[in-house]
Structure 1
Amino acid sequence: MTEYSKLFIIIGIVFILIGLIGTFIGKLPGDISFKKGNVSFHFPIMTSIVVSIVLSLIFYIVSRLK
């Protein structure tokens, strides 16, 4: 396997884990939701920050292992 194929496998596993965690956690405090009539708007700002931190840590650890 090449370096890129290993990297893509790791990225895929990370996305699967994030999806599973997101399913169980649901909406975090800090996520913005509005509902007015039949129109709803949801902006997951806190979830985005948490995912960004987790991905940054994972990629930092992966880069240190090389």
Structure 2
Amino acid sequence: MGDWSFFGKMLLGMGLLIALMGLILLGMGKLFSFGRLPGDIYIQKGNFTFYFPLLSSLLLSLILTVVLNLIFRR
């Protein structure tokens, strides 16, 4: 069998972490215009709109890499 309580605690912790990250991102959206940075590609012609958040994706990846390395460093 296994220790199901550990699995339950892990899922609960991950859920709380995801909810906390969501709240942080909602708060950042009001403070910063994240997602509309100068390096993002935005093309609008007539009724066609293309948006590719290149710089926003790179910045988010860098931030998550640093944070996760600090959390999981041993």
Range of TM-score over shorter length: 0.7 to 0.9
Post-superposition shift, 1:62?
Answer: 1.2
Structure 1 segments unaligned to the other structure (5+ residues): none
Aligned residue pairs, count: 65
Distance (whole Å) between structure 2 residues aligned to residue 52 and residue 42 of structure 1:
18
Q: Which has the larger radius of gyration?
A: 2
Residue 31 of structure 1: which of 27, 34, 40 is its match?
40
The 4+ residue runs of structure 1 with deviation greater than 6 A are: none
Question: Residues 1-66 of structure 1 correspond to what in structure 2 (within 5 A)?
Answer: 2-26=9-33, 27-64=36-73
Structure 2 segments unaligned to the other structure (5+ residues): 1-7
Identity level (%): 26
- Higher normalized contact order (CA 8 Å, seq sep 6+, divided by chain length): 1
